[in-house]
Chain A
Amino acid sequence: MFVFLKESGRCVTKLENMGFRVGQGLIERFTKDTARFKDELDVMKFICKDFWTSVFKKQIDNLRTNHQGIYVLQDNKFRLLTQMSAGKQYLEHAPKYLAFTCGLVRGALSNLGIKSIVTVEVTTMPACKFQVMIQKM
């Protein structure tokens, strides 16, 4: 579905916003019957395990945090990139395919009461690292 949007910063923003709306909707349905989360870390673990599994059929491979509101989610075989390349080819096109997912995470967190900024870093496909920066309100 992302194939036809031309490359431009505005489009990436639009994709991120679309991801945000979808993330909000998804998290509502996924957490309907879940107990309240204990804390921020609990929420992030939920995103890494249950949320990621529901959306991408696998868990996040590695979660790191500095315990001060910054989390790094590493996916070594990100499903939206596995069919594209296994290495550095097409690296410049990766942001288009990742923007939606960044929005997805931001939207999910938003509906769980957490304001954040989500960015992503790709050096070698299909591995990528999502950085979540929690905004203190």
Chain B
Amino acid sequence: MSQQSSRRPEKQKISTELFILTYGTLVAQLCEDYEKDEDINKQLDKMGRNIGMKLVEDFLARSNIAQCRNFYETADVIAKVAFKMYLGVTPRVTFWSQAGDDCSLFLEKNPLLGYVEIPEKHSCLLYSNMICGILKGALKMVRLQVDIQLLQDLVKDDKVTEIRMKLMRRHKVVRTVEKEQRYCGDT
């Protein structure tokens, strides 16, 4: 019995609509709670980090990926395995820098943006910022400090999402638990 369960982890899917609507309602609620777009973006980022820190465990357990040897492989795994697993889409990885530590993920069809229209007064809102937070949180848990920015999102009618990832540092030592707890406790 235990052999079976380790070979085939349970694939839990939810309806796309439920997912999109829930995310949209979450952002709408944040817009009510906070006045400034920067605060909303920060909250989305923070929520994303908390999710990412847990999600990476689920990801590693279900995907059985070996350790990546360099940032190219990391970006590849993120695009082809992680995004596919959780959002059902595979972004393109392009615009690599010379040093190989800086790249862009292009999502031509971002599932989160279905049925979404952003009003004028929230023009600085980074709608998909939670994805960036999730990536940051997840990568932090595998000891990579990566600067992630949402460069394009809901650009006029294109609806292309561009996420820029820049590798800052590889941590040799895992951060202590206290520091992480302190981060989660931030308001």
Given known contacts A1-B51, A14-B29, A22 and B15 CB-to-CB distance under 8 angstroms? no
Measured between alpha carbons, how far is A35 from B15 in the docked complex, in Å?
22
Chain B residue numbers with a CB within 8 Å of A21 are: 21, 25, 28
Complex CA gap A103/B15 in Å reads 17
Chain B residue contacts of A26, Cβ below 8 A: 17-18, 21
A54 to B29 Cα, complex, angstroms: 24
Q: A1 vs B14: C-alpha distance in the bound complex, in angstroms?
A: 14
* Residues of the A chain whose Cβ atoms lie less than 8 Å from the Cβ of B54: 3
Q: Bound complex: CA of A55 vs CA of B16, how far in Å?
A: 10
Q: Nearest CB to that of A14 among chain B residues?
A: B29
- Cα distance A21–B115 in the bound complex, in angstroms: 14
A127 cross-chain contacts in B, Cβ below 8 A: none
A22 with B18: CB separation less than 8 A: yes
Q: Which B-chain residue is minimally distant from A6 (CB atoms)?
A: B187
Which partner residue on chain A sits nearest B47 by CB separation?
A4
Chain B, interface residues (CB within 8 Å), range: 10 to 19
How far does the alpha carbon of A28 sit from the alpha carbon of B175 in the complex, in Å?
Answer: 47
A22 & B25 in contact (Cβ 8 Å cutoff): yes
Query: Does B50 reach chain A (CB closer than 8 Å)?
Result: yes
Asked if B22 lies at the interface with its beta carbon under 8 angstroms from chain A, I say: yes
A18 sits at the interface (CB 8 A): yes
A69 touches B (CB below 8 Å): no
Q: Chain A residues with Cβ under 8 A from B47's Cβ? A: 1, 4
- Say whether B17 contacts A3, CB under 8 Å: no
Complex Cα spacing A74 to B133, Å: 37
Interface status of A38 (Cβ within 8 A of chain B) = no
Please indicate the chain B residues that have their CB under 8 angstroms from the CB of A54 in the complex: 15, 18
How far apart are the CA atoms of A26 and B50 in the complex, in Å? 27
Determine which of A4, A14, A25, A57 lies in contact with B17 in the assembled complex, contact meaning CB atoms within 8 Å. Answer: A25
The distance in angstroms between the C-alpha atoms of A106 and B18, with both chains bound, is 15
- Kindly state whether residue B61 has any CB partner on chain A within 8 Å: no
Interface residues of A in 6-30 (CB under 8 A from B): 14, 17-18, 21-22, 25-26, 29
With A3-B54, A4-B47, A4-B50 as known contacts, state yes or no: A18 contacts B22, CB within 8 Å. yes
Nearest CB on A from B4, distance (A)? 19
CB neighbours (8 Å) of A25 from chain B are: 17, 21, 115
Specify which of B15, B25, B29 is in contact with A55 (CB 8 Å cutoff): B15
Beyond A18-B26, A55-B15, 18 extra complex contacts between A and B, CB < 8 Å: A1-B22, A1-B26, A1-B51, A3-B54, A4-B50, A18-B25, A18-B29, A21-B21, A21-B28, A22-B18, A22-B25, A25-B21, A26-B17, A26-B18, A26-B21, A29-B17, A54-B18, A55-B18
Q: Which 9 pairs of residues, A with B, have the shortest CB-CB distance?
A: A22-B21, A18-B25, A25-B21, A21-B25, A4-B50, A22-B25, A22-B22, A4-B47, A18-B29
Residues of A near any B CB (own CB < 8 A): 1, 3-4, 14, 17-18, 21-22, 25-26, 29, 54-55, 57
A-B contact pairs, 10 of them (CB 8 A): A1-B26, A14-B29, A18-B22, A18-B25, A21-B21, A22-B25, A25-B115, A26-B18, A55-B14, A55-B18
